[in-house]
Amino acid sequence: MSVKRLLLSAAATTVGMTTGVMYCYQTAIMPGIGRLTDREFIAAFQAMDDEIVNPVFVGPVFLGGGALLVAATIAHRDEPRRFRRLAIASAVYLAGVVAVTMAGNVPKNNRLADFQVASSTIQEAAAARREFEGSWNRLHIVRTLASVASLVVLSIAMVTNPRKST
């Protein structure tokens, strides 16, 4: 398999997995723990957030998706159509998924991580949750859609005919 094809496959796999993790939170986790009491919600989110920051997910999968998209884009600089599409997929992923996460969700995660659930009052837990949940979910929809969009554009780039140059 050529380097180009390998990069496309690797990018699609890592971006695909990241998209699925976004989908997991969107479809199962946040709706599910959203039904818990305030303290239960906070404890559950804190525990899962602590685990997801691990070397397999953050490095190779989440950031790897971005790195591989950029590498694939550069590798295809001699194919104008594919190059353009890969560039778009890269931009959408870096801005819509990576930047939104780092500037939006992660600071909120860290703030919630500092909240001492066990020693909190009911009102404090309610306030902490209210401050967190709605805005986190809004940011999350943005990055989920961006991840899907990036994957779709990447897929289109993958089936683009390399023989046509414009």
Partner 1 sequence: MPTTVLAIGLVLNALMAGLYFGFSTAVMPGLGRTQDRNYVTSMQRIDESILNPRFLTTFMGALVVPIVAVFLPLGDDGRDRLPWILAAAVLYGATIFITGAVNIPLNKQLRAAGDVTDRSAPAVRAAFHDRWTRFNTARTVLCSAAVVALTVALARPMA
Tell whether residue 166 is a contact of partner 1 (CB under 8 A). Answer: no
C-alpha R_g of the chain: 19
Q: Could you tell me if 146 and 100 are in contact, meaning their C-beta atoms sit under 8 angstroms apart? A: yes
What's the closest the beta carbon of residue 5 comes to partner 1, in angstroms? 5
Q: Please, what is the minimum distance in Å from the beta carbon of residue 54 to partner 1? A: 7
Instruction: Identify which of residues 29 and 127 has a Cβ nearer to partner 1 in the complex.
Output: 29
Q: How far apart (Å, rounded) are the C-alpha atoms in residues 107 and 135?
A: 12
Could you tell me which residues come within 8 angstroms of residue 1 by beta carbon, excluding any fewer than 6 positions away? 9
The one among 2, 121, 123, 166 contacting partner 1 by CB under 8 A: 2
List the one residue out of 151, 162, 156 whose CA is nearest residue 12: 151
Residue 126 contacts partner 1 per CB under 8 A:
no
What mask of x and - would describe binding to partner 1 in positions 137 to 156, judged by CB under 8 A?
Answer: -----------x--xx--xx
